[in-house]
Structure 1
Amino acid sequence: MKYLKISILLLILLLGISTVSSHGVDVTADTMVVANDSNGKMVKSIAESNNINISVYKFTSEDEVTHILEHSINNTNKRILFTAYQETANDFLKKHPDMSNRIIVIDTVNDNTTLEGLQNIMNVPIENVNSENNFGLPLTIGIIIGLLIGIGCGAYIMKR
């Protein structure tokens, strides 16, 4: 009987836990350039010489680029300029045409097209997200879950 109660409690806890996405956390900047080894330095120097504050990331595989694109689906503030891996970006845009305003692909990379792309990506409007609202809900949920577990454990200990 003792093991049945513990098993039921564990089952309830496991069923009560919401699913966790194992996709990972996006640690890249909201406004970024996807580059490779051949054009990363050029893009960074063009941005710096024109006082454009943007992060340039050098990627080495299409899988990494696809991962970043998947993060941009949920992050409405993510703006990406592609100077490399254009085919991957164009394939992604075919599947998600609603993101074409936040993802700019430069097919022919040179100084002029890169500068134009940098200016265009910086002019894409972003939403102002109030971080206070984003913190309150998880905090409340955590407190409620903690209270429920505490009450359950307290009731179990008191019955012993």
Structure 2
Amino acid sequence: MMNKKYIKILVVCFILLVGITGVSAHGVDVTADKMVIANDTNGQLVKDIADSNGINISVYKFTSDDEVEHQLEHMLNNTNKSILVVSYQSTAHDFLNKHPEVSDRLQVVDDVNNQTVVDGIKAVESYDSSSQNNSTTSFGLPLLIGLIIGVIVGLGCGIYLMKRKDKTKKE
């Protein structure tokens, strides 16, 4: 009798685990929404150019194409993120070819000099995500769906426990 009970519980747990969609182990983005991707060679130069023009922007120094691609992938989920790329341009161009929907938020400077860097930083700083027609969901919809699922599961568990309690009282 007890074995069937445990088997049922295991089957229900297995069905729930299979039904849960896969979670991408991508990580949390802790970088600024408006940023510059640079390397050790030109990172300080870009920061000095921004400071001399009175522009406050975060400059991140990367050491590999994989790190840059990972950072660019954060743009897909964060529509507020806009990035200027002054290093690893080939990675940025490849990313733009794969994801043209971020072309308005990703600026690539192939010829790094004072004027192109200033123009790129101003383009990144002037990007306004609120004026764009974003197709992202709001906070309310996932909350509502979660509440509905929670109520349904809670009612099901409550009914099961009440029936179980009634059976134990009758015996």
Give the TM-score category using the shorter length: 0.7 to 0.9
Deviations 1:84-141 (A, max 9, x none): 1111111212223343222111112222221122122223342359xxx732223223
Change (3 A) 1:97 1:144: closer
Pick closer, same or farther for the CA change 1:98–1:158 going to 2, 3 Å.
closer
Query: Taking structure 1 as reference, are residues 138 and 96 closer, same or farther at Cα in structure 2, changes over 3 Å only?
Result: closer
Q: Secondary structure at the match of 1:127?
A: helix
1:49 is the counterpart of 2:22: no
- 1:70 has 2:55 as partner: no
Q: Please name the residue that 1:151 is paired with.
A: 155
Find the partner of 2:88 among 85, 106, 109: 85
Query: Where does 1:71-150 land on structure 2 (aligned, <5 Å)?
Result: 71-127=74-130, 134-150=138-154
- Give unpaired runs (5+ residues) of structure 1: none
Alignment root-mean-square deviation, CA: 2.4
User: After TM superposition, which residue ranges in structure 1, 4 or more long, deviate above 4 angstroms?
Assistant: none
Q: Compare CA radii of gyration and give the structure with the larger one.
A: 2
- What's the offset of the Cα at 1:13? 2.3
Which piece of structure 1 moves more, 119-128 or 73-82? 119-128
Q: Percent identity between the aligned chains?
A: 59
Letter in 2 for 1:110: N
Query: What TM-score does the superposition give when structure 1 sets the normalisation length?
Result: 0.83
Cα offset, 1:33, TM superposition: 0.4
With the length of structure 2 as denominator, give the TM-score of the two structures: 0.78
Q: Distance in 2 between matches of 1:62 and 1:144?
A: 43
* Secondary structure in structure 2 of the residue aligned to 1:114: helix
Q: Given residue 33 of structure 1, which amino acid in structure 2 is its aligned partner?
A: V
Specify every segment of 5 or more residues in structure 2 that has no aligned partner in the other structure, as ranges.
165-171
Contact 1:76–1:127 (Cα < 8 Å) also in 2: no
